[in-house]
Structure formats: C-alpha cells, structure tokens
C-alpha cells in the first residue's frame, strides 16, 4: 500500500502540494520560490490562486496554528473561509481573552 499523502502550502506563492508525510523530513521546499512549505494536513482544500481574500484568511489560520487534519468521521471541522469571518472571530478573541486558534475554530460566535 502506498504511503498516504498530505497537503503542504506555500503562502507567498498561493500554492498547495500533496506529498507523502514523513516525520523525519520536516523541511519541505516550494518548487516555485524555494521558500518553506507549511504542513496543513490531509483534509486541506486549497482556494483558487486568484482568490486573494481566501488566501489571506488561510494565512491567518496557518499562522495561528490551525491545521486541517482528518477527524474520526466528519473531517477537520469548521474553518473560516472569508476575511469577514476571520475578523469576527479575532475580535471575539480580543474581547473575551480566548486564544486565537480556539476562536477561529468556532462555528458560531456567542452573542
């Protein structure tokens, strides 16, 4: 059985690559810019390259430590896709003192 593949992204290039996962090989290089690729998980679905707002939202998620790993039955769970959703969750985190990574994963914000 071939090894399973997982997703790596290059945020400056707005590119996603599926590669076999290897614990010993942590440094991956982007084929386009020779920058570092970030491991985002096997359940990642990349936005279109032209969708700059979605890539900006994704960069906030990745920099906050949010990843897209498969869950038991239902995938990675909720992830915001627009800048508006990200800004709402970041404002909620500032208001309540909740960590950014936790507030970014909330499906709905309490009022």
Domain assignment present for residue 110? The answer is no
Position 76 in a domain: yes
Confidence tier at 1 by pLDDT (50, 70, 90) = low
Neighbours of 1 (CB within 10 A): 3
Is 16:62 a contact under the CB 8 Å cutoff? no
Q: Do 16 and 42 touch, CB atoms closer than 8 A? A: no
Q: Is residue 99 part of a domain?
A: yes
Residue 21: give the domain boundaries.
Answer: 5-104
- Residue 72 pLDDT > 70: no
pTM of the model: 0.82
User: Quick check: 41 and 18 in contact, CB under 8 A?
Assistant: no
Helix and strand counts by DSSP (H, E) for the chain: 3, 3
Q: Which residue has the tokens 């996962």?
A: 21
Give tens-digit pLDDT for 10-38: 999 999 999 988 878 878 999 999 999 99
CA atoms within 13 A on the CB side of 42: 12
**Domain count for the chain:** 1
Cα gap 76→43, rounded to integer Å: 6
């Amino acid at each position: 059985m071939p090894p399973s593949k997982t997703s790596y992204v290059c945020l400056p290039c707005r590119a996603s690559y599926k590669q076999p996962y290897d614990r010993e090989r942590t440094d991956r290089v982007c084929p386009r810019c020779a920058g570092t690729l970030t491991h985002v998980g096997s359940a990642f679905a990349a936005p279109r390259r032209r969708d700059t707002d979605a890539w900006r939202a994704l960069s906030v998620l990745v920099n906050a430590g949010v990843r897209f790993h498969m869950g038991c039955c239902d995938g990675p769970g909720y992830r915001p896709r627009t800048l508006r959703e990200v800004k709402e969750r970041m404002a909620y985190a500032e208001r309540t003192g909740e960590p950014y990574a936790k507030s970014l994963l909330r499906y709905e914000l309490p009022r």
